[in-house]
């Protein structure tokens, strides 16, 4: 969201899956009512004491997989942006993506882009991801940048207790 420093203006944009509304963002409606009444609400944008930040040095990103025209391109883009953000934080990125023709798997992404540190060109299947988890021992796994295939694999691995084992 955006909050003006001195005027009572603010804006919030939600991703469709977030289901933003009066129940999970009640504070926004309370702030709005206070502003209408002429009261400037007190805002604490981030209270660091609420968040425990663990040290993450290495992540496994489950990629977008096979791309076809009109399908899954957004996951390639979001995955490549995730890689860029992770690299900016100094995190070692291991990517699994069977498709050699994606932005995610490109070693030469150009200025302002970052490539993963290691790429596995293997099928996105639970058994394959489990083998990579055993070998790489990442601190975390990101499944939300790879579309439905990656999400399904993540759910299967969670249900089988694989994340707790490795």
| pLDDT string in tens for the chain (166-residue length) | 677 766 777 777 665 555 555 556 677 777 778 888 888 777 666 666 666 667 889 999 998 766 555 555 556 677 788 888 898 889 999 999 877 666 666 666 555 567 889 989 898 899 999 999 999 999 999 987 767 788 889 999 999 999 988 7
- SS3 at position 14: coil
Alpha-carbon distance 37 to 120, whole Å?
57
- Beta-bridged to residue 93, according to DSSP, are 59
Global pTM?
0.64
Encoded tokens for 37:
């009444």
Sheet holding 58-62, edge to edge: 118-120, 92-96, 58-62, 140-142
Of 125, 71, 130, 127, the closest CA to residue 97 belongs to: 125
């Amino acid at each position: 969201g955006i909050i003006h420093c001195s005027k009572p203006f603010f804006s919030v944009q939600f991703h469709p899956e977030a289901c933003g509304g009066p129940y999970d963002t009640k504070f926004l409606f309370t702030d709005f009512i206070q502003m209408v009444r002429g009261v400037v609400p007190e805002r604490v944008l981030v209270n660091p004491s609420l968040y425990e930040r663990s040290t993450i040095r290495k992540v496994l990103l489950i990629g977008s997989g096979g791309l076809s025209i009109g399908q899954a391109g957004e996951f390639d883009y979001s995955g490549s942006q995730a890689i860029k953000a992770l690299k900016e934080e100094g995190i070692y990125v291991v990517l699994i993506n069977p498709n050699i023709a994606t932005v995610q798997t490109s070693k030469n992404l150009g200025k302002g882009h970052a490539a993963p540190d290691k790429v596995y060109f293997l099928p996105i299947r639970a058994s394959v991801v489990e083998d990579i988890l055993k070998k790489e021992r990442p601190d975390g796994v990101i499944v939300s940048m790879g579309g439905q295939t990656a999400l399904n694999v993540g759910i299967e691995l969670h249900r089988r207790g694989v994340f707790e084992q490795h």
